[in-house]
Amino acid sequence: MSVQQRSHGVRVLKAVSSAVRLHILNLLFDHDALSYTELMSLLKMSPSRDAGRFAYHLKFLLKAGLIEVDVESKKYRLTDLGKMVIDVAEEIEKKRLKSQKILVRTSRFTLEEFDVNRITDSLVREAGMPVEMAQKVAKEAEKRLLKARTRYLTAPLIREVVNGILIEKGLEEYRPKLTRLGLPVYDVSAFLSSDKTSKATHLTHEEFGKTVLREYMLLNVLPRDIADAYLSGEIHIHNLSSWILKPCSVIHDLRFFIKNGLNPQQLNTFKPSCTSPKSLESALNTIFNVLLFSARETCEAQTLEYFNIFLAPFIRGLSETTVKETLKRFLFNISWHVDASFNLDLTMPSFLEDKQAFGVNTNSIDTYGSYVEESQTLASIILDVFSEENMQRPFLNPTLTVKIRRERMNDSDVELALIKACNVVAHAGTVYFANISGNSEQYSVFSPPGFVLKADLNGDWEIDTLRTGVLGCVTINLPRIAYECEKDRTRFFNLLKERVEMAKRALEIKNEALKQRGKNFLPFLMQSTGADKYFRLENSAHLVNIVGLRESAEAFSGKRIYDDEQTLDFAVEITRQISEHLLKSGRRQEKRLLLSALPYLEVSERLARQDIERYGIAKVRFQGTREKPYYQSISRIALQNSEIAEKTLAVEKKLNELLSGGKSTVIELGDVEYTPETLLRLTKRFAERGDFEYFIFNRNLTHCNQCGRSWFGLLHKCPSCGSVGTLTFFKRYP
């Protein structure tokens, strides 16, 4: 080495011997290039007091060749030699700190020696960060971790340090992609030590998994504005943890499985070796497996549409006793083993008479229209089973939907089925009544708590309604818009349009995810015979649900909706604008975008609580109590006062006319006992007037587990045996 080279080396060492000059080099390494003023500011030097000292240090670095000035930007930057010096300085620092190896406990459950390159790789691979930027962040993280002098590190700790550096450096866009999903140790411990541990082990695993998937959705799938709107309570995305994994509900077509049979080992295709059922018992076993497999791939409810019609051929020649016992076993098996809610549709045989060729029964050349008597008998037996079981204890799952046509209300077979359905209601059973009329409505399908799908997409009732369902549902918090707009009508409807657009975008994300990944995530529902997939994804509904319609109109006007015509008109205008917007968008995108007002109590409670926390209890209009507030999302008619009931009925009917995706009307019976005959008169009256499309009779119930008796109302003590600690309360709606 020449004297000149040694002299230059000494100059470089002198340059980095000053803490100020080394600080300047590190600042330029972190920021790439900085101006004279920016450097002074970051060094916290005063231009008036420290200018001379700063200029001296800067010239020293320039002469040593460690920094240079960019001619165009007039900013200082590191030379290659300067970068080399930084690397050497960091290596020296690491050697000083590394008196022992630092081990990392990784997510792969191994202990490995700390390697800064793994941080760089993660930033590039997971967050999509440029390599040079990733190296700088990784080196800064390494420096801080080494100074901590911990005996071993964990992967989550390293991520926390890296995320902190990203925030400090203003690199927030990369942080969500690098965030680790999961629960704090305290939350897991609290969950396991609480009463929730009485749940089955698989449900506990499922709950923890849902938490991770919810975080993933909010951080990495949904756009920032939609995620923020969900967290703040402007909207609610139903079943967020499975938003990109499963549809909400399914309307089954049992003929598919009656024809093709079911082979659980071949979920993607059916082959000729799959045997179709030949008896009632084998048919019900097939349906049981259908529900079992579908429950894994569905968030909420399953509906067995035309249940009594499609099974009618299997009961011909059997005694009623045999049919009843076989059905009882089927219903109890599902109630105990299928961890999901499901609904049986009972359609009156008059439907078959209107459409003789109602699908072909694959076991014979006859049509289902040849089994009118069997359909009636099967419906009657099912209703008898529900009546008997509800006398012992409320039988809440499955629920029943009895589909009636007001043109046939006085037919003897219809009246016989209805009196039996009302007998179930009289014993506190769960029966929904679907009131259909005319040719345009007779093929509508319904699913609790009020979803409706009509044969209005392709003009073919089978492909429009069966093997479809609800793809996803987003609820809009209408009262929040009323509080935000401050009684400015234009602003109210602008905000409403923004929220509807958010809901549509969230639904589109779900639609695209299921289209792309449905074959992998939904192997049972997406199975096919040839080119025909079972679940018709493209025909399923995208629901934009609303909550707090009445509260929002009243908060905006300051008057009650039942007393003021303008308040009612404002509420109707809200539904009209949403409905028209969805109708136009649906036609343009060739999707079923439907407006609904379905009762989801947990959702309405969550949104009401968040509004109270934000605006105060004095400003927020809500139902319920201060401890348990909620927004109304159902039409509720109380029969105790006929004058008020009629007035309420007129208002609710006007509000519900535009809810094409469904609504639920609850007829409150109070704590009074009703005979089946009285309930039949009420049912016929509501059906003939066409007041409700889908309604249910409701009342609270107390069941004593000790003596096995049930009582209407919410009691604190059993009137029969005096027991207090063995009471179970059943409240379908608050």
Task: Please tell me the distance from the alpha carbon of residue 692 to that of residue 663, in angstroms, as a whole number.
Answer: 9
Instruction: Give the pLDDT score at 360.
Output: 40
Closest CA to 527 of 712, 270, 147, 203: 270
Q: What are residue 31's phi and psi, to 5 degrees?
A: -110, 5
The top-level CATH class assigned to 3-88 is mainly alpha
- How confident is the model over 374-389, as a mean pLDDT? 92
Instruction: Give the pLDDT score at 250.
Output: 96
Task: Please tell me the distance from the alpha carbon of residue 265 to that of residue 289, in angstroms, as a whole number.
Answer: 12
Task: Please tell me the distance from the alpha carbon of residue 527 to that of residue 200, in angstroms, as a whole number.
Answer: 30
Task: Please tell me the distance from the alpha carbon of residue 660 to that of residue 673, in angstroms, as a whole number.
Answer: 34
Instruction: Give the pLDDT score at 354.
Output: 46
Residue 121, both tokens? 């790789």
What are 254-286's pLDDT values in tens digits? Answer: 999 998 887 555 444 444 445 788 899 999 999
What are 596-631's pLDDT values in tens digits? Answer: 999 999 999 999 999 999 999 999 999 999 899 999
What are the start and end residues of each CATH 1.10.10.10 domain in the chain?
3-88
Helix (H, G, I), strand (E, B) or coil at 433: strand
- How confident is the model over 364-380, as a mean pLDDT? 78
Average pLDDT over the chain reads 83
pTM of the model: 0.79
Residue 105: Cβ-neighbour burial (10 angstroms; 0-12, 13-18, 19+): middle
Instruction: Give the pLDDT score at 290.
Output: 93
What are 25-65's pLDDT values in tens digits? Answer: 888 887 778 888 888 888 888 888 888 888 888 888 888 88
Instruction: Give the pLDDT score at 686.
Output: 84
If pLDDT is split at 50, 70 and 90, which confidence band does 105 have? low
